[in-house]
Structure formats: C-alpha cells, structure tokens
Structure 1
Amino acid sequence: MTDVPADRNWAGNVHYRAARRHAPTTVDELRRLVTGARRVRALGTGHTFNRLGDTTGDLVSTAGLPPTVELDRERGTVTVAAGLRHGDLATRLHADGYALANLASLPHISVAGAVATATHGSGRANGNLATAVAGLELVTADGDLITLDRTDRRFAGAVVGLGALGVVTRLTLDVVPTFDIRQYVRLGLPRAALDTALDAAYSVSVFTGWRSSSRFDQVWLKQHADQPPPSADWLDTTAADTPRHPVPGMPARNCTAQLGEPGPWHERLPHFRLGFTPSSGDELQSEWHLPREAAGAALAALDPAAERIAAVLQVCELRTVAADELWLSPNHGRDTLAVHFTWIGDAAAVAPVLAEVEERLAPFAPRPHWGKLFTADPTASYPRYDDFLALLGEFDPAGKFRTDELDRWFPR
C-alpha cells in the first residue's frame, strides 16, 4: 500500500483533512481497508471544488487498481477500472474501433468521479456521462463487493451516488462505433440566436465574459466530420481564423484542434488536450443546471449582475444536456441548459457574486453541479430525493462514507 501524494484538490482551494491516504493495488486490499475504517472516502482526480470528497478519516485512491478495459463487442459495452481517466480509456477504445457517445470538456478526470457527480459534456441529444453506465461494481461499508445493473431497482439511484454508497471499483459503459468530429469556432453570436445555436451540432458550447448585452463571445461547434461546415454568415457570426482558447489570454495550444480539421471523437469532443493543463488551473468553478425552456428568462435574470459577474469571471460556458432518469442527476426528468462559471481563484471576491447568481437563478429550479461551488440547498428540485435517502440508509446506515457536505445535503 502506498500513500496518495495529493493533499489538496486540483484547484488548490480544498486541502484534504484525511488522517491517512491510501492507494490499494488490489480489490481485496481495498475491501480490507474499507472494512477496518470508521470513515472513508474515494478520491478521483481531484477536480471537485467543494468538500464533497473530503474526510477526516481515510482517503482512498482507486488509481492503483488494475487498469481494466474489457470490451464486449456483442453487448456493445466496455468494463473499465474506476480510477482510469476518460482520456486514457478513450484512446484505447478508439484503437479498438469504439467510442463513448459523449465526453466532458476535460479528458483528465476519472471515469468513476465523473459518473458519481453526473459530469456531462454537451449536446441536445447527449445525456451526461453517467447515462452511459450499464453496470457498476462497488465495495460497500461492510467490505462486500457487489454489482448493480439496469435490472436492479437501486441502479438509477446508485449511479450518480456522490461516493456515498461505497467505493466504486469498476463500471460497465455503453459504447458506439468510433466516429470523427470537426470543430469550428464562431465569434459574436447574437443573444437572440442562442437556442438555434445550441441545437446546431452534435456538441455545442457557447462562451461569454458577460461584457456584452447583445452578443456572446464564442461558439464551439463539434459536428460529425461528414456534415457540411457552417456557412460564412452562420447566424450572423464570423469564423475564427486562428485556434482559440475559451479563457481570454490563455494559449490555444492547450485546446483540441479547431478550424474544421477532422479528428477522432476523443480528440475533439473535449475542449482541452490530455497532455496539457486543462483550462487555466488558477480558478474556481460553479455550475447550475436549469430547465432548457427557461434559458432565455434565466439569462435575462442574470443581466443586472453582469458587471459584478464579469469582474470575477474568467469565462462562462453555456451547454445543453439531455434528460435522464438517474435520481441525483441534475438532468433528471428535464432537458437542461447548464450555465458554468469559471471564476478567478479569489474565493473571497467570488463568494458574494456566487450568492447573487444563486438568488437570481432561484426562480428557475436550478440544480447545481455536485462537484462545484454553491451554497443553496441543492436537493429541493429532485423528485427522488427521499428514495436516495432510503438508499443511503440501506447501503451505509452507520455513515462510513459520509462527509460534512453529504450530512448537510442529506441529513440523517
């Protein structure tokens, strides 16, 4: 057993309080560790901006477990180790002629961490990454190793489990035949054209610095390589003639290839390349998921705060995510507009603006991303909240996997 070197999250705003950190190399070792621990939490790649993954007990990384990638061509699935990064899995899948239907903007994040928090990517018809899960294996509080699949009544509650039900060791994911994508960046999208733009390609991201009341700064269109490119005057925008980074001033070489150059899905659907630091690094993040039909009204509600938002903002990204039936998915039961804020790395300056954004979005039943910064109650608009509470009681009655954040969101 080796110690996990990380003592803080990726952004550096959370210093882990764990008394001990572990990286077991076998599932049996992990089971013994969980059985003997009073409090334990699984650690992914640390791309969580709140204390969801923090504990005063034992912090466990699954990155040292065998890096399973088992492709089942007949069933159209792949079974993978929980600690694998999406970018590493994607490379191996593509080499075998397969793909995941969707990826997040960062290929650096672990498969299990992205699934547990319903991290999502973009696309009108694309569900978040957790919707690809066909089965999962986890170590429960008493050290048992169990498997759940779509035939199990508990499955839809356990997939987006926030690490609260056990330590996930492997996941089985749906796959599709590999495909190529072209990525185009367009500049100066009129605000009135947002809805049309969000439906214009396989995956779409719209970026704004909240410095203009009439236009968004950039639109990233990720479309199948055999589709025609956007017209020269597409939605009254202009084509970027050089590669762009979504954060002003950051080097475009960190980003996936643009300008319509075709490439495999895993080298275009993420915004950032696996070998480079994602985004800016020195940042905080918040994100709220809103009903898609409320997009215009919700953005208008934020407009009076635009100057205050812009003062502490690096970039805001707007994306769509398709509805699903996973109990704690922010996209449960409704097509979604995700409004993502990459803030500067000054928590004191960001805090009052974050609170104002929450207040202004409150009428639209927002669901915050579980792994990002927020202060309001995240559970109010989840129809299966009580069912998940019952699942917590069934899987972890003594609270072995609980954290301060989970106790706040799901009080016993």
Structure 2
Amino acid sequence: MRYLLASAVLLSLASAVAIPTNQGTHNGNESSNGNGTNKKITVELGPRPYYLVDNMDEGPLKSKLQSCSEGPFKTSDFVFAHRGAPLQFPEHTIEGYSAARRMGAGVIECDVAFTKDKQLVCRHAQCDLHTTTDILNRTDLASKCTTPFTPATSNGTAAKAKCCTSDINQAEFKTLCGKMDGFNPNATTVEEYLDGTPYFRTDLYSTCGTLQTHNEYIALVNGWGLKFTPELKKPEVPMPFQGYTQQQYAQDMIDAYKAAKIDPSRVWAQSFVPDDIFYWIENEPAFGRQAVYLDERVDTVAGYANATASLPDLAARGVKIMAPAFFALTKIDNATGAIVPSEYAVAAKAAGLELVTWSFERSGWLNKGGDYYYQYVKPVINNDGDMYTVLDVLVHQVGITHMFTDWAATLTYFASCFGL
C-alpha cells in the first residue's frame, strides 16, 4: 500500500502558441536536432496555470492574467527551472530538464555534487541518492552506501539510509535510475522505503529517470540554446576529500563552462557557502559578476536581522546577486493587510543588489495558509491562486529578476503575460 498519495496532473494538455524566433542560436524556442542545428519548438503550459488563475480571488490581477489565457507564451530567462521539473518528474534527469524546457524555462539548474572519483554530477544534495534514485534496490551498489538501509522498528525508530555521490564513482552513478524524491520513514523493507512520494506530486513519470553528469547537462542545455544555473552543493563529507579541496571543487565547476566555451553571461553560478561566492568573484570575475549568494541565514529571526544588516557589506565585497527563499522578501503591512516588500528586500534594493529567489511550486496546497515559503504572509493566504498574488508583489514591488520553480509553466504564464 502506498505510504503517501501522489496527485497526477497531466503535462500533455497543451495550451500554447508556436513562437517565431528572432534571438539567434540562443533562443529558448529552438532545439538541437542532434547535429548542432536548432529548430523551433512550441512552448506548452498544460492546465496548471489556468487552474491557479481560476482559483484566484476576483480582482485586477486575476483579470489581467485571464486576459493572457491564449498567449502567446514564450521562453523566458525569468524562469529558472529548479532541479528540472520535480513537481512531476524525477529531479536532475533528462526527462525533467526536457519538461522544463518545453514549459518555457530559459535557465536550467544543475545542483553540482562530486563522486568518489571527483567527477561532477547533477544531484540536489551530495547524500540524497537513497531518496532520489534506485540505489537501495541495486545490490551491487547499496552495500557501498555510507549508511545501508535499516528498517523501522516497532518501538518507533524510523527507517534510515544514507547514500552519497561520493560513495560511488561516476560510471556507477550513471547506471542509477532517478525517482521522485521521497521516502517512507515507517518502512520495514527497501521497497516500502522508496515508496514515499509527497501527496502533491506524482509517480506517473517516475519509471527510470536518466541521471546527468555536469558535463552532460552543459552539452544538453547548450544544445537547446538555453542558459545555466549550476549550484555548487555544500559537501556532506569532510573537506578536503581524499585531497580534493573546496576551492578545487569550486574551480572545477567553472572550468567545465570554460572548456565548453560557454559565455559567462549565460551562467548563474550559485552557492550557499559564502567563501564559494568570494572565490569566484576574486578568481573568476567574469563568472563572479553573476554569482548568486543563496542566503539561508534568513531562516531564523536573529539570522534574518543579521542578514539584512550585512547586505551593504556584501555589496562592497563585490556580491551582485542575493537569493533568499521568497518568504524573506515579503511581509504583511499591519495597517492595510496588504503584502508588501520586507525589510530584507528594501535593504537589498538600497544596497544596489539584484534579487533572485526560490522556489515556486514547492508548497503543495495553499488553502490552509501555505508552509515555509509563505510563512510571513500566511494570514492572507487562502487558496492556490494566491501563489500569483505573492508572485505579483515579488515582481512588481520587490523587483526580483529571476525565480526558481519546480514547475516552469506556472512562471512562464505569468512572465509571458507581463513581458518578463
């Protein structure tokens, strides 16, 4: 029996218009036919954006979005495909990347981790193979995991496992199948453990996702004429790892784009580790200009205050782009009850910093006020359509320039409607 129910929203219902291309070989409405020649594609959004618009409270924003229902819809660099399209597809797989591209994402993400032989691959975390792949079902590889599967016990101890990219080499990594991220903590068997897809996602496309190395991702996205946002993942093993330093890790990621002759303007390198950002600014300034400082300090009250106060100093050190989770960029105006820019957002603007934020479509149903991503505006959130209400404030009042999303179509609809 399934541990959690997964909802299935079909991608194949197309609500799209073919867009003429006038942006040269880097237009996201073109695709590689395998020999380096691009051809036009049709951006398809499916039913989800329409469901969200219909679900909105009546008002000018809903009317504006309704007026855009028939497009045209086009690829937009405003849309950063977070892990591909993990609302419905296994993350960091060809299938997920392809879905994101088809839905109009102009920028595709690869979270970069390293293998035992110090090769770079796309995984959200260095140690997530036990929840995002079939490694535990692979008897030849499961035994190499840092923590092999241990079943749940009757006294309430949860099932556990820990399998890292650094446990196996790149060739072994490439034999794995991607699955939807999730696990069942009450499992007594491997099969039960792997059967834990969250209720608001689906296993419909989780047959055997094709994993990607970092170099394969670069070739794939470049062949589509799209742009890149690689995130150097925080290592979960002590560094240096068998002589592999954090600085070499950071340099290797950038070197891959230089080797592929990718213009730095097409790359938004990201990290939660401040020293990675400073390293790129100092040692790879062409890439450092667009480096994205992922700011997790905002997760606590004290951290939020410290992060807000630090923004002028970060700007002085050469940081150009800050990226907290989007809850940190809005608040409720106590006098009016309206959603408005937060203190962090105001301080970032005053410091001349660009704001990128994450991640749309990671919250499930919002009719109970949302979760982590809506925590500062929860009292005024009552339906799924309020996603667009918050997004409108982020775009038109906070002034974000890009947003990560688990389902590109939702942002592409908004971006096309407002010319982003």
Structure ranking higher in strand proportion: 1
What TM-score do the two structures reach when normalised by structure 1?
0.26
Structure ranking higher in helix proportion: 2
What TM-score do the two structures reach when normalised by structure 2?
0.26
